[in-house]
Chain A
Amino acid sequence: MFDLTGMTALVTGASGGIGSAIARSLAAQGARLALSGSNLDKLNAFRGELGGEHVAVAANLADPASVDGLVPAAVEALGGRLDILVNNAGVTRDNLAMRMKDEEWSQVLSVNLEAAFRLVRAAAKPMMKQRFGRVISITSVVGQTGNPGQANYAASKAGLVGMSKALAQELASRNITVNCVAPGFIRSAMTDVLPEAQKSALLTKIPAGDLGTGEDIGAAVVYLASREAGYVTGQTLHVNGGMAMI
Chain B
Amino acid sequence: MSDTAERVKKIVVEHLGVEPAKVTENAVFIDDLGADSLDIVELVMAFEEEFGVEIPDDAAEKITTVKDAITYIDEHTA
A→B interface (CB under 8 Å) = 125, 128-129, 170-171, 173-174
CA gap between A128 and B40 in the complex, in Å = 12
Q: Is the CB of A174 within 8 A of B38?
A: yes
Across-interface contacts of B36 in A (CB, < 8 A): 173
Binding site for A on B (CB under 8 A): 36, 38, 42, 45
CB-defined A-B contacts under 8 Å, sample of 10: A125-B45, A128-B38, A128-B42, A128-B45, A129-B42, A170-B38, A171-B38, A173-B36, A173-B38, A174-B38
Chain A residue, CB-CB nearest to B42: A128
A196 CA / B45 CA spacing, docked (Å): 56
Query: What is the chain A residue whose CB lies nearest that of B39?
Result: A173
Nearest to A172 among chain B residues (CB) is: B38
Which has the most chain A C-beta neighbours within 10 Å: B36, B38, B45? Answer: B38
Q: Is the interface of A mostly helix, strand, loop or mixed?
A: helix
State how many angstroms separate the Cβ of A151 from the closest Cβ of chain B. Answer: 34
Docked CA distance A170–B38 (Å) = 8
Closest CB in chain A relative to B62 CB, distance in Å: 22
Give the residues in chain A near B45, CB-CB below 8 Å: 125, 128
Residues of B contacting A173 in the complex (Cβ-Cβ under 8 angstroms): 36, 38
Q: A125 to nearest B CB, angstroms? A: 7
Min CB–CB distance B35 → chain A (angstroms): 12
**Complex formed: what's the CA distance from A241 to B2 in Å?**
64
**Contacts A128-B45, A129-B42, A174-B38 supplied; 7 other A-B pairs, CB < 8 Å:** A125-B45, A128-B38, A128-B42, A170-B38, A171-B38, A173-B36, A173-B38
